[in-house]
Structure 1
Amino acid sequence: MTRVNEEPMFAPREGEVRLRVDPAGLPGDSHVVFIGHVRSPWTSREDCPKNMGAARATGKAAAVQIDEAYRPGLEGLGRASHVVVLSWLEHAPRDLIVQKPRHAAGASGVFALRSPARPNPIGLHVARLVSIDIASGVLELDAIDALDGTPVIDLKPYLPSVDALTDATHLKAGL
């Protein structure tokens, strides 16, 4: 079986650095539970939008399907206009610690990038909550930048009074 990060599409670019040990092969520090999965029109990395702005620009809606055991946790979420979806980007390599994005002039550390390739490939997606059906566990979203079937590890309401920081600044390069 070929590991994801050994495929040609993940061959290191100039300036990239890999960890000595792939975190995917290490014993876990805790146990992450998948609570559902993404339902999106994206079935390949090549077609998947690179960020939520690009996903919204396609005009294609998406959904999150929550497993039955976790549906009671959806109570009250419908009061929020937006939801933060945390996903497990299972196809991403986990051993790239310095990366050179295609659009960047130089390499940057993984923690200065929004790349899915990271030691713990957790995706963060802030989406408009179009509708929620607690009984079926379906959250309809305006868009999402994740592949169909991507595992969901958590949901949180987006709280503008806490999450929108008016004094935040953009990184100058790398995003």
Structure 2
Amino acid sequence: MRREGERQLPFDPAAMPADAGVVFVGSVRSPWTERSDCPKNMAQARERGRPATIEIAAAYRDGLEGLSGFSHVVVLTWLDRSDRDLIVQFPRHAAAPRGTFALRSPARPNPIGLHVAAIVSVDVASGVVAIDAIDVLDGTPVVDLKPYFASIDAFPEATRPSERSGA
């Protein structure tokens, strides 16, 4: 159901020919099985204190070598159960509609999720990366993992519009 001020694309991006090929390298195992239970962001996921794992497919497990030396990992997921045709959204927490690219909503033309998680453990042989939390449904496909570098990935001076400004 669309909220007032929301707009859909006149087409479904999922039905368009692909510009590139994406392979899923694994999947997330999380405690969240229903959208209504799933945390809206990583802060909420951490507050709930429910760890998760990333299971990497056998062909890609060697790619985990060296990851255990990092404290955090960037997890890119394919939010396979999200709408793809909503280009302007009206989040419940906002005062006005916003463009999809000004939101962290899972509804987007290419439903790629971005999550920074603390690494609990890495088992290269089994392909399991245990993490502190995640804000996606169980079984969500994983597109990629990247080590998090605080020295280049963090911007303490970054700003955003206030939650209620509608900007």
Scaled by the length of structure 1, the TM-score of the pair is: 0.92
Worse-superposed segment, 112-121 or 164-173: 164-173
The answer to whether residue 51 in structure 2 is matched with residue 61 in structure 1 is: yes
In 1, the alpha carbon distance for the partners of 2:38 and 2:8 equals 24
Structure 1 match to 2:115? 125
The answer to whether residue 84 in structure 2 is matched with residue 89 in structure 1 is: no
Match for residue 172 of structure 1 among 151, 158, 162: 162
In 2, the alpha carbon distance for the partners of 1:166 and 1:47 equals 31
**1:125-149: CA deviations, max 9, x gaps?**
1000000000000000000001000
Structure 2 stretches lacking a partner, 5+ long: none
Match for residue 134 of structure 1 among 109, 124, 129: 124
Structure 1 match to 2:90? 100
**RMSD over equivalenced CA pairs, Å:** 1.1
Structure 2 match to 1:39? 29
In 2, the alpha carbon distance for the partners of 1:88 and 1:172 equals 28
Structure 2 match to 1:19? 9
The answer to whether residue 136 in structure 2 is matched with residue 146 in structure 1 is: yes
SS in 1 for 2:59: helix
- Which portions of structure 1, spanning 4 or more consecutive aligned residues, are displaced by more than 3 angstroms? none
In 2, the alpha carbon distance for the partners of 1:105 and 1:164 equals 28
User: Structure 1 residue 69: deviation in Å?
Assistant: 0.2
User: How is 1:65-84 mapped onto 2 (pairs within 5 angstroms)?
Assistant: 65-84=55-74
The residue identity in structure 2 corresponding to 1:133 is D
The residue identity in structure 2 corresponding to 1:140 is A
In 2, the alpha carbon distance for the partners of 1:123 and 1:171 equals 21
Structure 1 stretches lacking a partner, 5+ long: 1-10
Scaled by the length of structure 2, the TM-score of the pair is: 0.96
The alignment-based identity, stated in percent, is: 64
SS in 2 for 1:83: strand
